[in-house]
Chains A and B, each alone.
Chain A
Amino acid sequence: EPEVTQTPSHQVTQMGQEVILRCVPISNHLYFYWYRQILGQKVEFLVSFYNNEISEKSEIFDDQFSVERPDGSNFTLKIRSTKLEDSAMYFCASSESGTAYGYTFGSGTRLTVV
């Protein structure tokens, strides 16, 4: 069964450092997403990406965040200057269409900012 692959599974970084989280979506999917889940809290939407541009973003997704699809297979989330409150599980997801049919989520990257 096709899956969304995320690397690394766990990343520890110092406050103020830049991090890049990587994702390989399912190959025939066209819509890509990042969500995050702070420990013990809800899964929260960050950004959606379609046709090489951001289609929607939340208030969380400020100027410190950016996304990119650098080639035909990868989808990345960059945090320019990490803060302690950025510590969370970050999930990448992809879907074949933007309609209500379920996304496929990756297993996540646990980001710890120290």
Chain B
Amino acid sequence: EDQVTQSPEALRLQEGESSSLNCSYTVSGLRGLFWYRQDPGKGPEFLFTLYSAGEEKEKERLKATLTKKESFLHITAPKPEDSATYLCAVQEDTGFQKLVFGTGTRLLVSP
């Protein structure tokens, strides 16, 4: 069973058209939920860490929120340079450090 599921797989937006990406997770205890941005052929670039339900974090046009079962990445008035794959990952509260990733959402923002 997948621990991290992201939807949609792909999303095409017009510049300025706001939307949200979803990350559902199932872990026995959550140490942290991470959002990363990945450009083609590059490594994941850290965006946010969320630790507990109700927490929100913002950076420019991005806002991440967390509930007990899912996280949303809200993109407000996106620009073409926001086009990338957005990855969600969880770290369990088991004493180990590994991140478990979802398959990502490929976002394309057209001018």
Residues of A bordering B, CB below 8 Å: 4, 31, 33, 35, 41-45, 48, 50, 55-56, 58, 89, 91, 93, 95, 98-108, 110
Contact = CB atoms under 8 A, between A and B. Distances in A.
Chain B: number of interface residues, binned into ranges: 20 to 34
A56 B98 contact: yes
B31 interface: yes
A103 B46 contact: yes
Given A99-B31, A100-B31, A100-B91, A31 B46 contact: no
B13 interface: no
Contact of B101 (A43, A58, A99, A101): A43
B31 A91 contact: no
5 contacts: A33-B98, A91-B44, A95-B97, A100-B51, A105-B46
By CB atoms of chain A within 10 A, which of B42, B99, B100 has the most?
A: B99
Interface of B: 31-32, 34, 36, 41-46, 49, 51, 87, 89, 91, 96-104
B45 A41 contact: no
Contacts of A91: 43-44
Contacts, number: 66
Contacts of A102: 34, 36, 46, 49
Contacts of B96: 48, 55-56
A93 B101 CA distance: 14
B98 A105 contact: no
Contacts of B45: 105
B87 A43 contact: yes
B99 A108 contact: no
By CB atoms of chain B within 10 A, which of A35, A42, A100 has the most?
A: A100
B18 to A, nearest CB: 25
Nearest to A92: B43
A92 to B, nearest CB: 8
Given A99-B31, A100-B49, A102-B49, A44 B44 contact: no
